[in-house]
Amino acid sequence: MSEQELSTEKTILEAAKKVFLDKGFDGARMQEIADKAGINKALLHYYFRSKDKLFDAIFEEAFKQFLPNISEIMISNKPIEEKVRAFVSSYIDMLLKNPYLPVFVIRELQRKPDAIVEILKKSKINPIQVALTLKQHTEDGQIIDISLPHLIVNMIGLCVFPFIGRPIIEGFLFNNNTEAYNAFLLERKTLVADFILNAIKLK
């Protein structure tokens, strides 16, 4: 009983994740989720009361995964070069494993912008601490003076954008050569770090 129950629930969540990530909330159909899970549609409502509830379960998980743990990496004592390389490499790795995450999160946050307020309450990110560490690097003469938001946006943007814009970039710059594009994404694990460090390091 217990293991059967859990297994069904997980099966549903797995199928729901696939469908929601691919189609979005508005495009997703409960019937399609049920089919993909190989179960009856009514079972979805038995385990999760509604489409909204089922979606919320998926979204919360996805959002947590998408948000990079910048604080953790940036607050350590390591030199800035090491920090940037560690962040870029690990974040691109995550994206390679979950390439649809960014579009999904962004799409759904546009649909219900108030959701971000709820999420903010639960989260406990501390930008101030990171900003202080960053200022220290600047004062040590390691990097130029750059505000934390700009640096963070630049770092994340450089990592994420090729995944968000994949269909366009792959089409226009790679003639829809998927293999070549995968190689391109891998290259970026070091190239993006080099790019950022060149941009911010004092020489």
Partner DNA sequence: GTGTAATTTTGCCATTTGGTTAAACTATTT
Partner DNA sequence: AAATAGTTTAACCAAATGGCAAAATTACAC
Where along the sequence are the contacts to a copy of itself (CB under 8 A)? 22-24, 26-27, 67, 100, 103, 105-107, 109-111, 113, 116-117, 119-120, 123, 125, 127, 144, 146, 148-150, 152-154, 156-158, 160-162, 164-165, 167-169, 171-174, 176, 184, 187-188, 191-192, 195-196, 198-200, 203
Tokens of 111: 């649909």
Distance between CA atoms of 16 and 5, rounded to whole angstroms? Answer: 17
Out of a copy of itself, DNA, none, what residue 150 binds, judged by CB under 5 to 8 A for its kind, is: a copy of itself
50 scored as a contact of DNA (CB under 7 A): yes
Q: Which residue from 10, 22, 46, 187 is in contact with DNA, where contact means CB under 7 A?
A: 46
Q: Is 105 in the site for DNA (CB under 7 A)?
A: no
Residue indicated by tokens 């968000």? 164
Q: Which is nearer to a copy of itself, 77 or 83 (CB)?
A: 83
Query: Coil, strand or helix: which one is 12?
Result: helix
> Would you say 97 or 203 has its CB closer to a copy of itself?
203
Type and span of the H or E element at 149 = helix 148-164
Backbone angles phi, psi at 201, to 5 degrees: -75, 140
Among 18, 24, 30, 131, interactor with DNA by CB under 7 A: 30
The residues, ordered by sequence, that sit 6+ positions from 123 with a Cβ below 8 Å of its Cβ are: 67
Considering CB distances under 5 to 8 angstroms, the limit depending on partner class, which of DNA, a copy of itself, none binds residue 113? a copy of itself
Contact 107, 24 (CB under 8 A): yes
SS3 of the chain: helix, strand, coil, percent, to 5: 80, 0, 20
189 binds, among DNA, a copy of itself, none (CB under 5 to 8 A by kind): none
| Separation CA 17–CA 122 (nearest Å) | 22
Query: Interface residues with DNA (CB under 7 A)?
Result: 1-2, 4-5, 8, 28-31, 39-43, 45-46, 49-52
